[in-house]
Amino acid sequence: GAVVSQHPSRVICKSGTSVKIECRSLDFQATTMFWYRQFPKQSLMLMATSNEGSKATYEQGVEKDKFLINHASLTLSTLTVTSAHPEDSSFYICSASYQREGETQYFGPGTRLLVL
Amino acid sequence: GEDVEQSLFLSVREGDSSVINCTYTDSSSTYLYWYKQEPGAGLQLLTYIFSNMDMKQDQRLTVLLNKKDKHLSLRIADTQTGDSAIYFCAEKVTGANNLFFGTGTRLTVIP
């Protein structure tokens, strides 16, 4: 149980285009979903926290107009990188949690974005 | 903010035990986690421990928590080549929904 999927797993796009990444909790309802970014050989950096039906809470330094988050249902959150540039190239990982022992976060497999 | 630190690298021989260490600064932690990340993949939850526990064992994994010293460790018994990966410790603190991650320890298992 507690499986989280992400789609796509890998995307290459041209500079200036927008890219949407989906995060789904497959067998549970996620009260909260998180979006992280990971640079090569570095740890995860939290970008934003989203609760179903409400606006996402962005971490300091993360541009909310650049990284649009929509949490439309208890099983789906989307991250849209708008007008992507090469510096947005990174590994984006989502996680989902629900209220139970540990309030554990279950992570998706990640999406590797390469902006040319 | 919260500071979670790990040593960057660890090499062990196959069959030996591995011990990965983690220190944190926030004393209001509620849960502490160990995640495993293989190349190009997301994070796999290995185990977690509640902050009022000292030890948790799950098959080959043993987690030790010294709350006084704010020190967490993960011991992997009989380490196998398939255990080669990056291991992240993470802390959840009171009042925050998100996790604070350590820098990750790259474990290399030598056949």
- Is the pLDDT at A94 greater than 90? The verdict is yes
Is B93 part of the contact surface with chain A (CB cutoff 8 Å)? no
Is B63 part of the contact surface with chain A (CB cutoff 8 Å)? no
Whether omega before A109 lies within 30 degrees of 0, making that bond cis, reads no
A105 or A20, higher pLDDT:
A20
SS3 A86: helix
pLDDT at residue A1, as a whole number:
66
Low-confidence residues of chain B: pLDDT under 50: none
How does residue A41 score in pLDDT terms, banded at 50, 70 and 90? Answer: confident
Cβ partners under 8 Å of residue B37, min gap 6: B43, B44, B85, B86, B87, B88, B104
Distance to chain A for B79, nearest Cα, Å = 23
Is B87 part of the contact surface with chain A (CB cutoff 8 Å)? no
> How far, in Å, CA of B83 to CA of A51, rounded?
34
Mean pLDDT across chain A, nearest whole number? Answer: 90
Given an 8 Å threshold on Cβ–Cβ distance, is A104 in contact with B102?
Answer: no
* pLDDT tens per residue across span B72-103: 999 999 999 999 999 999 998 887 777 889 98
- Is the pLDDT at A100 greater than 70? The verdict is no
The residue-averaged pLDDT of A65-91 equals 94
